[in-house]
Amino acid sequence: MDSNLNSQLDKPSTSATSTPPSPSALAQELMALRQEHRDLQNQLKVQEEYLRYLWTGMDKVRRYIFWNYVGTVVKLVIIVVPLLALYFFAAPMIKQAFQSWQALQSNLNSVNSTINIDSILNTVQELKK
């Protein structure tokens, strides 16, 4: 700001007569520059407060995103780990149960094939007579 004032003071006046500006005009110009300087400082303070407010909001958002990520990882662990354990530990048991079921079905099929329903019906009719 002071350099602006000095540069303005160093400029030659453009009027036809080169009369130096009056002291009151210089004083008014200096006061206007000081007021502008105060206004800029006030604006800077307001902007700093606003930046602090934004920074705290951004910090809250950053923490929310972090904990959301942690929650997602925990949910995946809670779901995926039991599924993997089920696959590795229960798969042999399921395979064994399936083999037992197949053996039972083959036994039932062999029993059904040996039993002839016609012979049973004939035997029942003979007993009735």
Predicted confidence (pLDDT) per residue in 83-92, tens digit = 998 888 888 8
Domain ranges for the chain, please list them: 21-128
Q: What is the DSSP string of 1-14?
A: -HHHHHHHHHSPP-
pLDDT at position 123 is: 82
Q: Cα separation of 67 and 51, whole Å?
A: 24
In three-state secondary structure terms, 59 is helix
Predicted confidence (pLDDT) per residue in 92-118, tens digit = 888 899 898 988 888 877 776 666 677
